[in-house]
Structure 1
């Protein structure tokens, strides 16, 4: 399945801006949206698959929480043995349907390796996991629920299991934060987004995507019971950690 639909959702000036929602319209343009909005996204996804190859041994189970259309799920499948399985979870029916369609369209993919769940990631059981991925997902979970989710993930990991956490972080005060914010907007302009689209999407995400500081994320990982973590990826104000049991 070709992901060629252009994201023009926020180029329409009519009417008030609705809060961002992972509905069928977003699912339709999501590959283009994330490519043009998140610097380094392809590298982040590809490296996540390489981490899976390191930690997911024979018969391992992985979880992709907030999987959207399954870019990370498919990266894991490509990099691991045929007896490694992935539980791909998203609460948006359009995203799960899109993932299922993509898996079915890829002749080389064994769809029996993937269990797709349309569910709230805060309510599912996480059991015997070698790898759990939260790829730009925790930022959409209410702040007061984030620690509990990480604690459940930690409890569901096998010895030697790891968590990949990727987030947009809150820009620091002062000149450093100004640079990150300005360059991210420049990145979107360079990828063809109009000033109108940038402004309307920012308004749609306000109070839906709640970023936090790097320090807050790292404090919470330790509080959740992970014995260590490392920042292994950063592109502008997007960062990913590897946290281990």
Structure 2
């Protein structure tokens, strides 16, 4: 379905409810620059660290696209676990996984309540930015502790710039991108208002410091478009 969630006046803050879930794949493709390319890169890097029986977690898995694509591309038999606190998202994830013949354990839970065990790869695609900063650092430490030595945390995030002038340019460039994807000025402004105080982005340096503070020995930016970036952190 085509994303028309914000073509009307909003009445609440952004949430991953049934209305958003029904159009989420289209929303991602049209709202996140180079989303599919970053997803493909994530999967390519992940495959370099995997082996038969590896545990792979996707935190905030939404409709499970990343895990499904990983399963389709990997030569290994993997234990795939998708975690999300939106039942509407997980219902679609379950249907998609079944359609593609991919076995995924889908958990409707708060990430902090799930016991992550012996992970080889942990994905988090535009999830950390929705977690309050104090809890964000705790979650990254939990991810670090869950990974086997040599395991990787692969995550994508929206960014802000420390430079206010550049940050304004970042926003303008991003809104220009959204207009090319068919979103109107009204839809763009409505979504921005809905996300106010819900999505809290860090700078690129703040993301890397958070990773290093958790104990990871290396963190690299492997793709960046203006204010969107893909990172890989190695334990």
Q: What band does the TM-score fall into relative to the shorter chain?
A: over 0.9
Question: 4+ residue stretches of structure 1 with deviation over 6 A?
Answer: none
Q: TM-score, normalised by structure 1?
A: 0.93
Q: Secondary structure at the match of 1:86?
A: strand
Q: Is the 8 A contact 1:17 1:200 kept in 2?
A: no
Contact 2:51-2:76 at 8 Å conserved across structures: no
User: 2:118 pairs with 105, 124, 128, which one?
Assistant: 128
Give the match for residue 54 of structure 1.
48
Give 2:230's match in structure 1, choosing from 221, 225, 240: 240
Normalising by structure 2, report the TM-score. 0.97
What is the total number of aligned residue pairs between the two structures? Answer: 235
How far apart are the structure 2 equivalents of 1:180 and 1:194?
18
| Deviation (angstroms), 1:52 | 1.9
Tell me the equivalent position of 1:77: 71
Q: What secondary structure sits across from 2:69 in the alignment?
A: helix
**CA–CA distance in structure 2, aligned partners of residues 49 and 79 of structure 1:** 8
Structure 2 Cα separation of the partners of residues 85 and 103 of structure 1: 14
Task: Return 5+ residue gaps in structure 1 as ranges.
Answer: none
Q: Which residue of 1 aligns with 2:7?
A: 11
Gapped regions of structure 2 (runs ≥ 5): none
Q: Root-mean-square deviation (CA), in Å?
A: 1.1
Quote the offset at 1:59 in angstroms.
Answer: 1.0
- 2:81 aligned partner: 87
Matched, 1:110 2:106: no
1:226 alignment partner, one of 216, 219, 223: 216
